[in-house]
Amino acid sequence: MLEIEYWWLAALPAFFALGWAAARIDIRQVIREARNLPKAYFRALNLLVDDDAERATDVLVELARAERGNTELQMALAGLFRRKGETDRAIRIHQSLLAEGGLDGETKQKVTLELALDFLAAGLLDRAEGELRRLLGTPHEARALPPLLNLYAAEREWHKAIETARRLEEITGHPRPQEIAQYWCEVAQYAFNHSDDAGAGAAVAAALAANYKCTRANVIGGQLALRQGDAAGALACWQRVELQNADDLPLVAGLIADTALAQGEAARAANLLRGYWQQTPTVDVLDAALRVVLAVEGEPAARALLAEAVAQRPSILAVSRQLEHGGPPEVSTLRQLLGQHTRRLAQYRCTACGFRARAHYWHCPACSAWETYPARRVEELNIYD
């Protein structure tokens, strides 16, 4: 049984008293500091709460003139300028802070990061890159790398983007396989477009090494193999997409159909594409299967395929294909599809934000804009404009 020392019970009130006294001291310190703050701080804060950045900026400008040595105030003011789109004023403030000297290392790095964001907002990508690279190897590197990565992607500097993404993985511990694989695919596509087959092949391999489920890499790899005269290799690349992500089969179904027809492999491709249709019933897969079945088995088999497709996955596109091949669609199916599409098309659409509604509004419920709903339905706008 646990034995309780009696002196513990005597000490408990003392501990509570010390905690209460410490809390009172902290509260008094906060109150004292708040009383010493200029009233302009509270005016600016209230304006920001009211989302009145324009007037808040004016108040902070006046305050900044009176307290030029207040670095935090200067940075807050520069942030407001950048938010308002006045990037030139934000840049001047941050540059003047750095030029003054006397900043400790931590503050200097913060200002450098803010200056880099100013340059990004102003579209001065080269200068932004220079400022962000100054922060590599510092405690602010983790904050500098994401905008640097976005910058390299915008400039299509894919090798630098790959290097930056890998460094970001190391620092944060969060893998980025999809992102890195897509960067390698961009490298592969560029090399492919410029007839650099060796470079394209190496980049495809690197993309798959980064993310073995990268279907885009196999799409490019198949195109590369086909250009090199290896049709079997191309078909093998595209068929791997089924194992990577069956939802991406529509991207390769047409390529498989065209290559199989050109290489005399249509009979095998017909069975393959029929299976793809069962697995991923989309109109692109259906079109690819239809071309091959029509070439190998003739019009009756194509009509049977379309009838099966409309019965299993009815859609306006499938019915239109059925009509093109002389097949009579089921009236009940056609009526159901037309009803579904009519409900979607018989809507009004806001010209400001694109929000759709069945009723006409003078005041958009999504973006609160006035008189942005044309009196015509979506279908009429799409067809006649």
Give the CATH number for residue 191.
1.25.40.10
Please report the pLDDT score of residue 105 as a whole number.
Answer: 83
- Looking at 221, 248, 275, the residue that finishes a domain is 248
> Of 194, 203, 193, nearest to 158 (Cα)?
203
Please report the pLDDT score of residue 30 as a whole number.
Answer: 39
Regarding pTM above 0.85, the answer is no
Please report the pLDDT score of residue 175 as a whole number.
Answer: 92
Would residue 204 count as lying in a domain? yes
Please report the pLDDT score of residue 293 as a whole number.
Answer: 87
Low-confidence stretches of the chain (pLDDT < 70) are 1-70, 314-346, 375-385
- Looking at 248, 279, 295, the residue that finishes a domain is 248
- Looking at 230, 248, 266, the residue that finishes a domain is 248
Total domains in the fold of the chain? 2
Q: Taking each helix axis from N to C terminus, what angle separates 231-239 and 215-227, rounded to the nearest 10 degrees? A: 170
Please report the pLDDT score of residue 85 as a whole number.
Answer: 85
* 110-122 confidence digits (pLDDT tens): 989 989 999 998 9
Is 116 in contact with 128 (CB distance < 8 Å)?
yes
Would residue 106 count as lying in a domain? no
Number of Cβ atoms within 10 Å of the Cβ of 81: 24
Please report the pLDDT score of residue 37 as a whole number.
Answer: 44
Angstrom distance (rounded) from CA 147 to CA 162: 14
Q: Which domain holds residue 375?
A: 346-385
* Range 264-273, long-range pairs (CB < 8 A, 24+ positions): 265/235, 266/292, 266/295, 266/296, 267/296, 270/296, 270/297, 272/239
